[in-house]
Amino acid sequence: MTEKVHRLGLLSMFVFLLIVLLGAWFAGRDKSDSEGGTRFLIGISQPNLSDPWHVALNEEVKEEVDKHNDIRVIFTDAAQSSAQQKEDIRHLVGYGVDLLVVSLDDPAALTATVAEVYRKIPVIVLGRGVTGYDYTLYIGTDNEVVGQKAGEFAAETLKGRKGTIVEVQGFGDSPTVQERSLGFREAIAGSNLEVTHVVNSDWQRDRAEDQLTDLLAKDGNVDLIFAHSESMALGAYRALKNTGRMNIDIIGIDGVTTKTGGSPYVSERQLIGMVRSPTGGREAIQYALDILNKEKGIPKKVILRSRLVTSDTESGDGADGKAAPPDRNGKETLKLGFAQVGSESGWRIAHTNSVIGAAKDAGIELLFRNADQSQERQFESIREFIRQRVDVIAFSPKTETGWEEVLSEAKDAGIPVILSDREVKVKDDSLWTAYIGSDFREEGRRAARWLTEQADREPDRVYRIVELQGTPDSAPALGRKKGFEELIRDDDRFAYAASLEGDFTKRSGKELMAEALEKFGKSIDVVYAHNDDMALGAIEAIEAYGLKPGKDILLISVDATKSAMDALSIGKLNLVVECNPLLGPQLMKAVKDVSQGKDLPMKIITSEGVFTQELVKQVKRNREY
């Protein structure tokens, strides 16, 4: 152990000296020299380089940097020490990097450090995210979806059997681990499969090997191992060899395609499957340049597409959902078909105007159809677009489900589909190319975080909540409810008086609130409305009942339209979580990119704020919607 610590100390000293030399060299260069000089210096902080995923990340970064003559990067390796990574980040900032790219093994340990840097320079977080929102951009995969893909494959592999599963996790309190585990368990729920053991191996191959060797020697009843990373999956394979238990299947996550990556291990059947989690190294440099050049429309999150790789599938190159460039038959003008869900709210009208205006500015021919809250009309519009051979189809779906048939028709016709504002739930996610919009679940979390902060001031009080939901089975309603409940469900200070289904309209908000007041009266402490229009309707109902909204009852809303900001400024709302409807420019960029055959991320999540009564006056005058 002493020898290992000594080696780590020497390695850390070597890394420190290397950073000093590089920092001094870069500091002597003229960043303003646009003729072959270095304009931007980017720091890349890695938790280790013993993991194939992290090695592949560096390789991707280097390949992308080589395409640009005006940027340089400094890499650091913390050798699996969170304390060392904090020091690495401090040194990088001290040497004057213009932007920090950081990949984390232990988000809980680094969240405060990342937040501190974010107050000084832009920060891009890769792969395993930090808690909260104190960063410029997150690039990674949807970890819950990654877990679901692994769980679905586990259920398929052990079909008809009563399977016992060992789950090998990274750092137990990280959001990545929690989300991957949740997705996996949701996917196997209702089957005969059961997770009987959970092992925390801190993302390390050797630790996973040692722990699983001990476990398998004691427990002979294991059918499958689900490892949260490639390194830990390879540690599991070594444990099987150590114990002679080669009849146990292993599913891993990461699946990079370097010589030491996951796909070769799958093809050689050491692992039966791997859910690929792209590193995002290439995208990090591309977005870093956009950020440093102060381009408009920088998203808050970019979610890359994951895919399952097995010995029966292709090698793992490419990504599901990538559409071939449309056959434009010599046309110069792009044609976009857009099927809007309706005009049920001020937010939706702003969204529509943004799409129409951005198409005009981009020189894209827009075929616009309004479904007036009818999914059947959206089906008809999409089929009309297919018949008219548009280049790209985009739409904001009324509900998450029921889209397989019509989207399959678009895929068969070779027309890429982009989701705007709302998502769909289909088994084959290659039926759509990209989603552009908000993180509805995070919006719910942000509403709940504010409420818990208010409750901290009166710790002995119980808050009775009335929730006004949006359209049933719609992505915003599902996400906002789920995110809100995540943070309050185990907190005894909160209790639901009622959770009522509305339809995102002011009328339904007023009617539902009147119903709740008639039943619960003055015992209601909080109203959480899934959008501004329902919140504004609730305000009218509360005033008609003889109470003061914002004082007698706390009101939380989502959207941040002008009407809601007005209500916030005069104290009738207490909190408004922003949901940005101005998605038109990002949509038009995506339409152009996909028409040129460029890869699109699976999800592009917009940057949004949270507004209190104290903050609203600072931002209200500059609101565009």
pLDDT in tens, 169-223: 998 778 889 999 999 999 999 888 999 999 999 889 999 999 999 999 988 899 9
Angle between helices 143-157 and 175-188 (to 10 degrees): 40
In this structure, the answer to whether residues 265 and 344 fall within a common structural domain is no
Say what the pLDDT of residue 331 is. Answer: 62
Residue 1 is predicted with a pLDDT of 44
Query: φ, ψ for residue 124 (rounded to 5)?
Result: -110, 125
- Residue 340 corresponds to which tokens in the numbers above? 């809007």
Residue 128 and residue 83 share a domain: yes
Q: Looking at the structure, do residues 163 and 292 belong to the same domain, yes or no? A: no
259 confidence band (pLDDT: 50, 70, 90): very low
The answer to which of 167-171, 266-270, 365-369, 580-584 has the lowest mean pLDDT is 266-270
Tokens of 378: 């959206």
In 3-state terms, what secondary structure has residue 164?
strand
Best mean pLDDT range from 4-8, 232-236, 335-339: 335-339
Tokens at 535, concatenated: 């919140």
pLDDT of residue 36: 56
Please check whether residues 208 and 179 belong to one and the same domain: yes
Is 346 within a domain?
Answer: yes
CA dist 16 and 198 (Å) reads: 37
Same domain, 147 and 137: no
pLDDT in tens, 553-598: 999 999 999 999 999 999 999 999 999 999 999 999 999 999 988 8
Tokens matching residue 135: 């960063």
pLDDT tens-digit map of 86-115: 999 999 999 999 999 999 888 888 999 999
pLDDT reported for residue 410: 97
- Distance between CA atoms of residues 339 and 394, nearest Å: 7
Q: Which residue has the higher pLDDT, 19 or 289?
A: 289
Looking from the CA of 483 toward its CB, the CA atoms found within 13 Å total 26
Q: Quick one: which of 301, 293, 299, 257 has its CA closest to 277?
A: 257
321 falls within a domain? no
Clarify whether residues 531 and 460 are in a common domain: yes
Is 421 part of a structural domain of the chain? yes
Kindly state the average pLDDT of the residues 407-412. Answer: 97
* Residue 148 sits in the same domain as residue 137: no
Q: How many domains does the chain have?
A: 4
> Has residue 294 got a pLDDT over 50?
yes
Q: Are 613 and 571 in contact, with CB atoms under 8 Å apart?
A: yes
C-alpha–C-alpha distance, residues 103 and 284, integer Å: 11
Using alpha carbons, select from 318, 326, 345 the residue that is nearest to residue 559.
345
pLDDT, average across residues 392-403: 96
- The full 3-state SS of 201-227, as one line of letters, equals CCCCHHHHHHHHHHHHHHCCCCCEEEE
Same domain? 46 vs 124: yes
What per-residue confidence (pLDDT) applies to 327?
Answer: 58
Average pLDDT over residues 48-60: 89
- Does this model's pTM top 0.85? My answer is no
451 and 357 fall within a common domain:
no
**Per-residue tokens: 154:** 């586990």
Residue 617 lies in a domain: no
Q: What is the pLDDT of residue 316?
A: 40
Is 588 within the bounds of a domain?
A: no
Which positions ≥6 away from 427 have C-beta within 8 Å?
404
| CATH number assigned to the domain comprising residue 106 | 3.40.50.2300
Q: For residue 364, is pLDDT > 60?
A: yes
pLDDT at residue 78 tops 50: yes
More confident: 544 or 325: 544
Which H/E stretch holds residue 281?
A: helix 281-292
User: Does residue 167 carry a pLDDT above 70?
Assistant: yes
pLDDT at 263: 57
Last-in-domain residue among 579, 595, 617: 579
pLDDT at 330: 54
174 and 199 part of one domain: yes
- Please state the three-class secondary structure of 70-96 as a single string: CEEEEEEECCCCHHHHHHHHHHHHHCC
Q: Tokens for 204, please give them.
A: 């390390």
Domain for residue 164, yes or no? yes
Among 27-41, 263-277, 372-386, 593-607, the range with the most confident prediction by mean pLDDT is 372-386
Q: How confident is the model at residue 325 (pLDDT cuts 50, 70, 90)?
A: low
What share of the chain has pLDDT > 90, as a percent? 72
Confidence label for 18 from pLDDT (cuts 50, 70 and 90): low
User: Which of the four pLDDT bands, split at 50, 70 and 90, describes residue 6?
Assistant: very low
Lowest mean pLDDT among 57-61, 127-131, 440-444: 127-131
Over residues 118-148, the pLDDT tens digits come to: 999 999 999 876 777 899 999 999 999 999 9
Higher pLDDT, 622 or 117: 117
**Same domain, yes or no: 262 and 219:** yes
- Of residues 329 and 24, the one with the higher pLDDT is 329
Instruction: Look at residue 598 and tell me if it is in a domain.
Output: no
Give the pLDDT band (50/70/90) at residue 599.
Answer: confident
Mean pLDDT over all residues of the chain?
88
Q: Is 610 a domain residue? A: no
Asked whether residue 200 falls in the same domain as residue 254, the answer is: yes
Q: Are 150 and 232 in contact (CB under 8 A)?
A: no
Task: Let me know: does 43 contact 49? Beta carbons within 8 Å.
Answer: no
- Sign of the CA dihedral with 224 first, then 226, 227, and 230 last: positive
* Predicted confidence (pLDDT) at residue 277 exceeds the cutoff of 70: yes
Q: Which domain holds residue 201?
A: 143-277
* Residue 504 contacts residue 531 (beta carbons within 8 Å): yes
d(CA 210, CA 593): 47
pLDDT at 81 over 60: yes
Q: What is the pLDDT of residue 264?
A: 61
Here the tokens at position 203 are 């993302």
Whole-angstrom CA distances from 287 to 87, 290, 527, 572 are 25, 5, 38, 39
Q: Which residues pair with 554 in a beta bridge?
A: 526
Phi first, then psi, for residue 152 (nearest 5°) are -65, -40
pLDDT digits (tens, 9 = 90+) for 281-290: 999 999 999 9
